């Protein structure tokens, strides 16, 4: 198997860790500047014998290992020795992993209906091309800033609204909070993407407008969460865990304020800090 080669025979190295990013942190009732490291994320297209198969969001390290493990886990081949070549090509919007397998295996792959189950981390497993996975997002319009104390109030109130999580300890929540910090609508699911889809569906059914408040997520905030939030019209997204590099880039381009590490006592603002006020 040929692995770790770029087109033209160049050796590909894992991308370095993302450099520190300056963020504005709200803590103790005031804003301070600090440097945070943001986890890398890239759109990774799986291409077998020249045919698009799926796009997954991955960390950009050890992609040769990922190609082999994914191919085996999906039952595309039975043994790693059947993988004839792996080429990894950096493309404009992400990375293509080009995998060569025997013709018989490719024929079987083309015949079957694909059901990719890449855990609960992907959220884009039915998408076949990077262009579709990273479609342009709307530019969110200006709006009066959300007061930082409102975000703190919503974070404090959210646990009491998480009925399923109190019973099981195993589900995520997506919540709509008003500009005053009142948690007005909550949906829960074992999948963070599903929880957000449920919330936006409930908002559509009840006529609740995203611009009238902000989104709170009990999970990390990666690319697909930013995309879903922007398409729903949320100009402010608050996540209790960290964002990824690509999520930050997409939020910035869409005009969305992306907040991470939101806990009692403070939070980090990664993009569009003008959408958040001190009080």
**Residues with catalytic function:** 122
CB 61 within 8 A of CB 51: no
Three-class secondary structure assignment of the chain: CEEEECHHHCECCCCCCCCEEEEEEEECCEEEEEEEECECCEEEEEEECCEEEEEEEECCCCHHHHHHHHHHHCCCCCCHHHCCEEEEEEECCEEEEEEECCHHHHHHHHHCCCCCCCCCCCCCCCCCCHHHHCCCCCCCCCCCCEEHHHHHHHHHHHHHHCHHHHHHCCCEEEEEEECCCCEEEEEEECCHHHHHHHHHHHHHHHCCCHHHEEEEECCCECHHHHHHHHHHCCCEEEECCCEEHHHHHHHHHHCCEEEEEEECCEEEECCCHHHEECC
Q: Whose structure tokens read 């995520």? A: 172
Structure token digits, residue 276: 């958040």
């Amino acid at each position: 198997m040929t692995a770790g080669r770029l087109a033209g025979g160049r050796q590909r190295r894992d991308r370095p860790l993302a450099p520190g990013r300056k963020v504005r942190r709200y803590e103790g009732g005031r804003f301070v500047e600090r440097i945070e490291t943001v986890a890398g994320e890239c759109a990774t297209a799986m291409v077998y014998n020249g045919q698009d198969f799926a796009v997954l969001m991955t960390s950009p390290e050890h992609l040769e290992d990922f190609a082999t493990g994914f191919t085996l886990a999906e039952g595309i081949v039975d043994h790693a020795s059947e993988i004839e070549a792996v080429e990894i090509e950096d493309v404009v919007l992400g990375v293509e992993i080009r995998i060569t397998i025997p013709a018989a295996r490719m024929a079987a792959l083309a015949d079957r209906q694909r059901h990719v189950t890449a855990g609960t981390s992907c959220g884009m497993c039915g998408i076949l091309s990077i262009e579709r996975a990273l479609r342009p997002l709307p530019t969110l319009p200006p709006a009066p800033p959300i007061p930082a104390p409102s975000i703190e109030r919503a974070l404090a109130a959210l646990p009491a609204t998480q009925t399923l999580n109190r019973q099981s300890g195993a589900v995520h929540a997506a919540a709509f909070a008003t500009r005053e910090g009142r948690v007005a609508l909550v949906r829960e699911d074992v999948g963070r993407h599903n929880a957000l889809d449920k919330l936006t569906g409930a908002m559509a059914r009840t006529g609740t407008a995203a611009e009238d408040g902000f989104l709170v997520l009990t999970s990390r905030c990666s690319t697909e969460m930013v995309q879903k939030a922007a398409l729903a019209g949320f100009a402010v997204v608050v996540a209790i865990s960290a964002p990824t590099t690509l999520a930050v880039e997409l939020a910035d381009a869409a005009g969305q304020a992306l907040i991470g590490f939101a806990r009692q006592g403070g939070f980090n603002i990664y993009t569009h800090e003008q959408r958040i006020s001190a009080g």
